[in-house]
Each structure stands twice: as structure tokens, then as C-alpha cells.
């Protein structure tokens, strides 16, 4: 999802009505993989507003989640505080203990997103 491209497209559609088969009569709705993105083009001062959809987080279902996530991000298991997944976008949020230097982590991204990550499912 790219807000810049969406707003740019809305600007072109609003600014060049002759390109459209029918005139715009309200908000512009873009249908994306992330869901509907609605751009409000009705402002009198030309400002366009877009509300990004919020994805809800939920528990990640697995019995060995903390151990595998800890191994993949290179920290001891007790440093993983919480792991949740975004249901629609299918991404994982990993919370680690505040003492972990996140910048210095050597993350095995393939272990988290590759074909062997079938153990990582969002419930």
C-alpha cells in the first residue's frame, strides 16, 4: 500500500475531469489488496484526506512460537514479550524486552517469512 500514489492518483482524477467518462460526485474509492482506501476530495480549499484502514492484531497460534521467533531474531526466549499477527495484511508484530538492542539484531528473515515458516499462522 502506498499512500503517496493513491493521493497522487486522486489528485489527477480530480484535477483533470475531462479524462473521466463521468464527473466525480463524491469521494474516490480505491479497491486495493489492503481493502478500500477512500479519498475525500470534497474540501473547498483543495485539501484531500485519506483514512488508512487499521488492521486488528490477534494472537499467533502455535505451541512453539516464542522459541522459534526468538531463534529467528537472535534473542533468548525470555526476551520475547509478545507476538501478535495482523489478520488482514498477514504481518507479525514481535515485542521484545526493552533491554534488547533492536538495531544490533541479526534477524533470519527467511525463518520468519520463508516457506519453512508454516508454523507461524495468525489465528
Domain ranges of the chain: 3-51, 57-122
Q: Is the pTM of this model over 0.85?
A: no
Task: Give the tens place of pLDDT for each residue, 81-121.
Answer: 888 877 777 777 889 999 999 999 999 988 877 655 555 56
pLDDT value of residue 100: 96
Task: Give the tens place of pLDDT for each residue, 29-42.
Answer: 998 877 788 999 98
Which residue in 67, 59, 106, 107 sits closest to 83, CA to CA? 59
Cell 482506501 locates to 37
Amino acid at each position: 500500500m502506498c499512500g503517496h500514489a493513491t493521493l497522487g492518483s486522486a489528485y489527477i482524477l480530480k484535477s483533470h475531469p475531462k479524462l473521466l467518462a463521468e464527473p466525480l460526485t463524491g469521494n474516490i474509492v480505491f479497491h486495493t489488496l489492503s481493502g478500500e482506501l477512500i479519498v475525500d476530495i470534497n474540501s473547498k480549499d483543495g485539501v484531500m484526506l485519506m483514512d488508512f484502514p487499521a488492521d486488528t492484531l490477534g494472537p499467533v497460534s502455535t505451541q512453539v512460537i516464542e522459541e522459534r521467533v526468538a531463534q529467528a531474531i537472535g534473542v533468548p526466549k525470555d526476551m520475547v514479550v509478545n507476538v501478535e499477527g495482523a489478520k488482514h495484511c498477514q504481518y507479525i508484530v514481535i515485542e521484545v524486552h526493552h533491554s534488547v538492542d533492536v538495531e544490533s539484531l541479526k534477524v533470519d528473515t527467511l525463518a520468519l517469512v520463508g516457506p519453512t515458516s508454516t508454523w507461524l499462522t495468525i489465528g
